Amino acid sequence: MHDRTLYEYAVVRLVPRVEREEFVNIGVLLYCRKQRYADILYHIDRERCSLLSPEIDFEQILGHLDSMKQVCLGTKAGGALAQLDQTERFRWLTAKRSTLIQCSSVHPGLCVDAKETHQELFKKLVL
C-alpha cells in the first residue's frame, strides 16, 4: 500500500478587470513538501477570457505565468524569489494580491503521487 502525503494547491485565476472581480481559472499551483514537488500548470482559453475583457494582452499574461513557473521550479531565470526554499516560494506565489493574476485560497489534500494529482486537479479545475 502506498503512503499518502500532504499537498497544498491553489487555483490561478485571470482577473482582467479587478474592479469587477470576475475571473477565469487558468492554472493550478501545487506544492508537496515530502515529495519535493512544486509546479504550476496553466492554460489560457483566449476566447473565454476575451468575453470578460477584449483588451487582454495574452503575451503579457503568458510572460507572468512563465515567471511564476520559473519561481516554482527554483531556476535562475526566476530571479531572487526562485532562490528561496520551496515552501517560501509557494507561499509567496499564493499570497493574496489585487492584480490581473490572482490565486484562490490554499487548499490541502492527500496524495500518493503529487505530479499525478496536479494533472488531475488541472483537468478538473481548468480544462
What's the predicted TM-score (pTM) here?
A: 0.94
Bridge partners of 14, per DSSP, are: 24, 101
Q: Would the pLDDT of 122 be above 90?
A: yes
The dihedral through the CA atoms of 78, 81, 86, 91 has a sign that is: negative
Q: Which residues of 34-58 are buried (b: 16+ CB within 10 A; e: fewer)?
A: ebebbbbbbebeeeebeeeeeebee
Q: What is the pLDDT of residues 59-116, one digit of tens each?
A: 999 999 999 999 999 999 999 999 999 999 999 999 998 889 999 999 999 999 999 9
Q: Would the pLDDT of 2 be above 80?
A: no
Q: Is there a contact between 19 and 116 (Cβ–Cβ < 8 Å)?
A: no
Q: What is the pLDDT of residues 31-45, one digit of tens each?
A: 999 999 999 999 999
Q: CA 25 → CA 7, 35, 48, 51, 83, distances in Å?
A: 20, 26, 10, 14, 27
Higher confidence at residue 18 or residue 11?
11
Could you tell me where the beta strands, DSSP code E, fall in the chain? 5-14, 24-32, 37-42, 101-103, 107-111
